[in-house]
């Protein structure tokens, strides 16, 4: 018996709706299959359903065979036809962040000379600060099967052993899920892994292999690799990341079968430098972060999960070392500079002393600066300068508040989109922005609308192949072409504005029409919310000044917006025509170049003349050597990574005092 329908589930059967669908299907005795494009899979396996990659508005058939087939079809079709299904359930982060190495928050220059020497390596500067400490290499060994065929008489026992191991892994995950201390994100990761451990495709595949005479460990390894390969082969960035989840679950099952504990981070010594090829979300959720002195990884970039966690806990980190991380496997001691991305293996006495001085100086500086946490910096004329934080996730709120941030000058919304296997819903976005607004009220929270392009693809948006994505379909350009995505974000922002002081700014603006078109959409969204009876409040709309075009039309732009925020990271690369990620042209990519300083000055002049706020959220905003010039130009807001806030406040106070 079968029935076809068009899927209305919001954004299709991505992971959580797939799990829900499976739960529903499992409530029926009948065998149930879902068929898409002639391919049929069991509706009782969320892994298989995810791999079918069923999208919204696609036609599918539900096929059932058994005593309650009619009821099963009715219930499952009802689920598929419900556009609200999946809307209330957000996706957990992928276990291993597969996002690009592109620094979202490029860190500033190291205050001290960069370390070098024969034992030096260089990676992505992902979380600033110096660290030196004993190396703690975390390279969990590969697990191998027994490699012998089972006797017929051993098979039933091996299947029992396998089922007991699955049960033990699920129980272990349930125990972790029961902990109050688990954050929402970590809970999502563990819950996703538990779903996979319980999934028929993994257990079915492995049991089939055991029945064929394979030992349980070999069977689990093969089954996990097969399923992981299926996930890797799908043309979907986020389904690809599930491959790591499957491997993580397979590993846990094998360890139970071996009667071994995983190489755990629980015993990491105080102040040790954690070295790994990759640190999975599974490890991270259980790691004693307070004891970790620094992190070095082969994988990962500045936007990866580990980078965000490191930054929010103030742990210096160098990531993306690639295979060269292997050189650190046998290191006894490691020094790292999370600001420049340098790593030194077994430093000699001079380097060790140098780093010890740096770490001590940094600690001393931090201690000395902590009094500035609650300071409101003012110029000699009494004008308050807002020193705000650049953040990209709710996890970073605490670090920003601890630093004494006077609000958020740049909330990068990209991570919100990149972390999920589907576009974030309006509700989820509204909740996130409202949580931010509430956390910092009465200070403003400036949310930047989605600034993404083909270099950092996200699920749910098809980017064309472009010769030069940095000059292509990105930021406000993409948003205006996709009002479905843009309006959802604007509606969420209007709703969140009820909860605090939300301001909104547009990235990559190059043409005044982009602002005008956005305003039309904001008005449209407000009218819709009003008609729907949904509470909302208006917000100030500003623009980032980060293209040469925006600088040149700044006087006209200033008449149309409430504020400017100068994005020196991009402005420098576009003014100097020097890629911000290309080390070969790093010398040109210099904010202090007279051409860039002139662009900043022109912008400030235009903003000041029009009486609007001019701020800066590029990394230059936190540079003590440049702050005086920016203030002279008339900037009244500087937004930076939380680690730079207290130093910037001190710099401003020193200037005001004429020091």
* Alpha-helical regions (H) of 577-633: 594-610, 624-633
Cβ proximity to Mg ion: between 546 and 619 the closer is 546
> Could you give the count of Cα atoms lying within 13 Å of 80 in the half-sphere of its Cβ?
27
User: How many residues at the interface with ligand PEP, by CB under 6 A?
Assistant: 10
381 marked as part of a ligand binding site = no
Which residue, 292 or 302, is less far from ligand PEP as judged by CB? 302
Contacts (CB under 5 A) with Mg ion, residues 500-559:
546
638 vs 406: CA distance, rounded Å: 10
Rg (C-alpha) for the chain, rounded Å, is 27
The stretch among 79-87, 136-144, 190-198, 562-570 that binds ligand PEP (CB under 6 A) is 562-570
C-alpha to C-alpha distance for 192 and 245, rounded to whole angstroms: 8
Nearer to ligand PEP by C-beta: 105 or 276? 105
Alpha-carbon span 296 to 317, nearest angstrom: 6
431 is in an annotated binding site: no
440 vs 574, which CB is nearer to Mg ion? Answer: 574
Q: What are the residue numbers of the active site?
A: 305, 617
Beta bridge partners of 444: 501
Among 91, 337, 570, 637, binds Mg ion (CB under 5 A): 570
User: Minimum distance from CB of 175 to Mg ion (Å)?
Assistant: 43
Binding residue (CB under 6 A) for ligand PEP from 201, 340, 569, 603: 569
d(C-alpha 476, C-alpha 455), whole Å: 15
Q: Which residues on neighbouring strands pair with residue 62, listed in sequence order?
A: 3, 34
Residues 528-547 that bind ligand PEP (CB under 6 A): 546
Kindly tell me the burial class for residue 112, based on how many C-beta atoms sit within 10 Å of its own C-beta (0-12, 13-18, 19 or more).
Answer: middle
Question: Within 611-630, which residues bind ligand PEP (CB under 6 A)?
Answer: 617-618
What beta strand segments (E) does 91-244 contain?
120-122, 124-127, 130-138
Number of other residues whose CB lies within 10 A of the CB of residue 437: 28
- Determine the 3-state secondary structure of 454 from DSSP: coil
| Contact of residue 42 among ligand PEP, Mg ion, none (CB under 5-8 Å per partner type) | none
User: What do you get for the CA distance between the two ends of the chain, in Å?
Assistant: 83
230 binds ligand PEP (CB under 6 A): no
Residue 354 vs 514, nearer CB to ligand PEP: 514
The footprint of ligand PEP on residues 80-119 (CB under 6 A) is 104
Q: How far is the CB of 544 from ligand PEP (least distance, A)?
A: 7
Nearer to ligand PEP by Cβ, of 351 and 568: the residue is 568
Rule CB under 6 A: say whether 218 interacts with ligand PEP: no
Q: Which of residues 406-465 bind ligand PEP (CB under 6 A)?
A: 410, 412
DSSP 450: P
Total number of residues that touch Mg ion (CB under 5 A): 3
Distance CA 123, CA 340 (A): 8
50/73 Cα distance (integer angstroms): 19
Closest CA to 304 of 90, 100, 92, 122: 100
409 binds Mg ion (CB under 5 A): no
Cα(502)–Cα(493) distance, integer angstroms: 7
Smallest gap from residue 569 Cβ to Mg ion (A): 5
Q: Does 278 bind Mg ion (CB under 5 A)?
A: no
Q: Which of 305, 352, 351, 344 is nearest to 321 (CA)?
A: 344
Q: For the beta carbon of residue 590, count every other beta carbon within 10 angstroms.
A: 17
> What is the smallest separation between the CB atom of 406 and ligand PEP, expressed in angstroms?
18
> Minimum distance between the CB of residue 346 and ligand PEP, rounded to whole angstroms?
35
Among ligand PEP, Mg ion, none, what does residue 617 contact (CB within 5–8 Å per kind)? ligand PEP
Query: With CB cut-offs between 5 and 8 Å by kind, which of ligand PEP, Mg ion, none does residue 568 bind?
Result: ligand PEP
Q: Which stretch binds ligand PEP (CB under 6 A): 461-469, 493-501, 510-518, 563-571?
A: 563-571
Has 580 been labeled as part of a binding site?
yes
Pairing relationship of beta strands 120-122 and 59-65 according to DSSP bridges: unpaired
Residues 162, 167, 168, CA angle at the centre, nearest 5°? 95
**What whole-number distance in Å separates Cα of residue 185 and Cα of residue 420?**
11
Residue 199 known to bind ligand: no
Q: Does residue 200 have a known ligand-binding role?
A: no
- Report what 230 binds from Mg ion, ligand PEP, none; CB cut-off 5-8 Å by kind: none
Q: How far is the CB of 517 from Mg ion (least distance, A)?
A: 20
Query: Among residues 159 and 581, whose Cβ is nearest to ligand PEP?
Result: 581
**Rounded-to-integer distance, Cα 24 and Cα 266, Å:** 38
- Quick note: the x/- pattern for ligand PEP over 13-52, rule CB under 6 A, is ----------------------------------------
Minimum separation from the CB atom of position 78 to ligand PEP (A): 43
DSSP readout, 211-230?
A: HTT--HHHHHHHHHHHHHHH
567 interacts with ligand PEP by CB under 6 A: yes
CB atoms within 10 A of CB 487: 17
Q: In whole angstroms, how close is the CB of 225 to Mg ion at the nearest point?
A: 40
**CB-neighbour burial class of residue 237 (10 A; exposed 0-12, middle 13-18, buried 19+):** middle
Q: Using CB under 6 A, which of 568, 603, 636, 641 touches ligand PEP? A: 568
In sequence order, which residues have a C-beta less than 8 Å from that of residue 412 and are 6 or more positions away? 104, 105, 390, 391, 392, 448, 451
CB of 104 to ligand PEP, least distance (A): 6
Q: What φ, ψ does residue 380 adopt, rounded to 5°?
A: -60, -30
637 annotated to bind ligand: no
- Asked whether 408 and 639 are in contact (CB, 8 A), the reply is yes
Give the per-residue contact string, 344-373, with ligand PEP (x = CB under 6 A; - = no): ------------------------------
Task: Figure out which of the listed residues 108, 409, 460, 567 binds Mg ion, where binding follows CB under 5 A.
Answer: 567
Task: State the binding site for Mg(2+).
Answer: 546, 570
Annotated binding site: 412, 448, 546, 569-570, 580
Binding region for phosphoenolpyruvate: 412, 448, 569-570, 580
For ligand PEP, the binding residues (CB under 6 A) are 104, 410, 412, 546, 567-570, 617-618
Chain positions contacting Mg ion, by CB under 5 A = 546, 567, 570
């Amino acid at each position: 018996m079968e029935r076809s329908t068009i899927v209305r589930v919001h954004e299709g059967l991505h992971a959580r709706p797939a799990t829900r669908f499976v739960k529903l299907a499992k409530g029926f005795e009948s065998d149930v299959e879902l068929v898409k494009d002639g391919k049929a899979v069991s509706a009782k396996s969320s892994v298989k359903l995810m791999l079918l990659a069923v999208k919204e508005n696609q036609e599918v058939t539900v096929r059932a065979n058994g005593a309650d087939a009619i009821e099963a079809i009715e219930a499952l079709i009802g689920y598929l036809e419900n556009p609200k299904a999946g809307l209330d359930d957000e996706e957990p982060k992928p276990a291993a962040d597969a996002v690009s190495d592109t620094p979202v928050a490029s860190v500033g220059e190291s205050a001290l000379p960069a370390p070098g020497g024969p034992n030096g390596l260089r990676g992505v500067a992902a979380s600033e600060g110096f660290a030196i400490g004993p190396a703690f290499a975390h390279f969990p060994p590969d697990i191998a099967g027994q490699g012998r065929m089972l006797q017929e008489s051993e098979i039933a026992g091996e299947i029992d052993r396998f089922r007991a191991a699955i049960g033990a892994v699920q129980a272990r995950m349930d125990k972790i899920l029961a902990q109050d201390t688990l954050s929402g994100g970590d809970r999502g990761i563990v819950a996703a892994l538990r779903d996979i451990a319980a999934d028929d495709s993994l257990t079915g595949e492995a049991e089939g292999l055991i029945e064929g005479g394979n030992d349980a460990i070999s069977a689990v390894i093969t089954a996990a690799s097969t399923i992981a390969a299926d996930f890797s082969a799908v043309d979907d960035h986020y389904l690809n990341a599930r491959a790591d989840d499957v491997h993580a679950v397979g590993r846990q099952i094998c360890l139970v079968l071996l009667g071994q504990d995983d190489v755990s981070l629980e015993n990491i010594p105080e102040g040790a430098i954690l070295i790994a090829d990759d640190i999975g979300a599974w490890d991270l959720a259980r790691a004693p972060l307070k004891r970790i002195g620094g992190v070095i990884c082969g994988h990962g970039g500045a936007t990866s999960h580990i980078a965000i966690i490191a930054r929010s806990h103030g742990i210096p980190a160098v990531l993306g070392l690639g295979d060269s991380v292997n050189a650190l496997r046998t290191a006894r001691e490691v020094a790292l500079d999370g600001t420049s991305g340098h790593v030194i293996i077994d430093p000699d006495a001079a380097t060790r002393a140098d780093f010890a001085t740096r770490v001590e100086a940094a600690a001393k500086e931090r201690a000395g600066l902590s009094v500035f946490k609650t300071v409101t910096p003012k110029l000699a004329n009494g004008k308050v300068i807002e020193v705000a934080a650049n953040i990209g996730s709710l996890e970073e709120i605490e670090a920003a508040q601890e630093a004494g941030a006077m609000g958020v000058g740049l909330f990068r919304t990209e991570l919100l989109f990149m972390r999920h296997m589907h576009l974030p819903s309006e509700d989820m976005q509204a909740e996130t922005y409202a949580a931010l607004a509430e956390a910092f009220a009465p200070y403003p929270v400036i949310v930047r609308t989605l600034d993404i392009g083909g270099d950092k693809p996200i699920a749910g948006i098809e980017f064309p192949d472009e010769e030069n994505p940095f000059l292509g379909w990105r930021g406000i350009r993409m948003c205006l072409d996709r009002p479905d995505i843009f309006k959802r974000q604007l509606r969420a922002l209007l709703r969140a504005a009820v909860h605090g002081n939300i301001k909104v700014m547009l990235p990559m603006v190059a043409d005044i029409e982009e602002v005008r078109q956005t305003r039309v959409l904001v008005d449209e969204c407000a009218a819709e919310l009003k008609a729907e009876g949904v509470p909302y409040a208006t917000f100030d709309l500003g623009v980032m000044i980060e293209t040469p075009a925006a600088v040149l039309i700044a006087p006209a732009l200033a008449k149309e917006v409430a504020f400017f925020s100068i994005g020196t990271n991009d402005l420098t690369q576009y003014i100097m025509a020097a890629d911000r990620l290309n080390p070969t042209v790093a010398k040109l990519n210099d904010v202090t170049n007279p051409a860039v300083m002139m662009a900043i000055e022109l912008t400030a002049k235009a903003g000041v003349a029009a009486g609007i706020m001019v701020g800066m959220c590029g990394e230059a905003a936190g540079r003590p050597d440049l702050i005086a010039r920016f203030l002279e130009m008339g900037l009244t807001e500087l937004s930076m990574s939380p680690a730079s806030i207290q130093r910037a406040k001190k710099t401003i106070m020193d200037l005001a005092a004429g020091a």
